[in-house]
Chain A
């Protein structure tokens, strides 16, 4: 498997401010990390795929200028929600992709609860 941490676990911020969420792969070097968000009682929605040393690939409908992703090292990816608004309040989860035997399994962090007032 893989051990993934996220920081902070929860954050409350005022509308208009920016919030940075960190995702760390603790026990292996991850070239690919993923960022998801989950709304209450809904499935996970992939926001973007983060590749170490290159630009992130964003899913359709996700504003890349609002959700800034940086994957500067093989163990750290960050998601910055810029000029946050109440509708950005959600549960954000990162994962790392680990390839074994020709297949890739994603291992998830514990998630970050964001509340924008």
Chain B
């Protein structure tokens, strides 16, 4: 049973436009959510996180939105740049054990 789902295996966006990556979760105990970016043959890089007490967190071009009632979060990247092409993983955890539960990832392709 997947507790964290990224339903889009891939997403193609024009350079300069907004990229929106989506993530859904099922466990209501999750209270911390993270986004990671991963290039092939490299470890994931932490991008941004959000606590369940917030509904939005922004860091430069990256904004994460959390909708607790819908158990849904999204990562917005604007404007999208060629270097943003990578696989993006959504992860969630509960303060009861801190273990990260991962989504399957979404491959983002930024077109010139």
Contact = CB atoms under 8 A, between A and B. Distances in A.
Interface of A: 1, 4, 6, 32, 34, 42-44, 46, 49, 91, 93, 95, 97, 99, 101-111, 113
A1 B99 CA distance: 18
Given A49-B99, A102-B95, A103-B32, A1 B43 contact: no
B70 interface: no
Name the residue among B43, B51, B102, B105 with the largest chain A CB count within 10 angstroms. B43
Contacts of A43: 89, 102-105
B102 to A, nearest CB: 5
B46 A106 contact: yes
Interface range, B side: 20 to 34
Contact of B41 (A4, A105, A109, A111): A111
Nearest to A40: B40
B81 interface: no
A80 to B, nearest CB: 19
Interface string B95-108: 10011101111000
A15 to B, nearest CB: 23
